Amino acid sequence: MKPQTIKVLPEEEYGYILVMSSDLMKSKINVDERFDTNIIEKFEQEQIDDKFIMRWTAILNMSKVNITEGILRAKDIYKRAQSGLIYTPYAFGNTGLLVLFTDYGAFDIISTPPTTLTTAYLWYKNIQCKQDYIVVCTYSPVSQKLFGLQDIIVPSVIMTDDYELPPLSVSKINNGIETIRDAIVRNRCLER
Residue 132, classed as helix, strand or coil, is coil
Q: What pLDDT band is residue 184 in, cutting at 50, 70 and 90?
A: very high
Question: Does 191 map to a domain?
Answer: no
**Sequential DSSP letters for 135-160:** EEEEEETHHHHHH-PPPPP--S-SS-
Name the burial class of residue 82, with classes exposed (0-12), middle (13-18) and buried (19+) by CB atoms within 10 angstroms of its CB. Answer: buried
Q: Longest C-alpha distance within the chain, in Å? A: 55
pLDDT for res 159 = 65
Mean predicted lDDT score pLDDT of the chain: 83
Question: Does 189 map to a domain?
Answer: no
Q: What pLDDT band is residue 74 in, cutting at 50, 70 and 90?
A: low
Question: Does 90 map to a domain?
Answer: yes
Question: Does 192 map to a domain?
Answer: no
Mean pLDDT score, 110-131: 84
Q: Which of 93-97, 103-107, 175-179 has the lowest mean pLDDT?
A: 103-107
Q: Which of 16-25, 114-123, 125-134, 154-163 has the lowest mean pLDDT?
A: 154-163
Question: Does 17 map to a domain?
Answer: yes
Contact 48/171 with Cβ under 8 angstroms?
A: no
pLDDT for res 75 = 56
Q: What pLDDT band is residue 13 in, cutting at 50, 70 and 90?
A: confident
Question: Does 57 map to a domain?
Answer: yes
Q: Give how many domains the chain has, as a whole number.
A: 1
Q: Tell me the whole-structure pTM to 2 decimals.
A: 0.86
**Sequential DSSP letters for 76-87:** HHEEEEEEEEEE
Residues near 171 by beta carbon (within 8 Å), at least 6 away in sequence: none
Expressed as residue numbers, the domain containing 31 is 4-184
Question: Does 16 map to a domain?
Answer: yes
Distance CA 37, CA 133 (A): 24
Question: Does 180 map to a domain?
Answer: yes
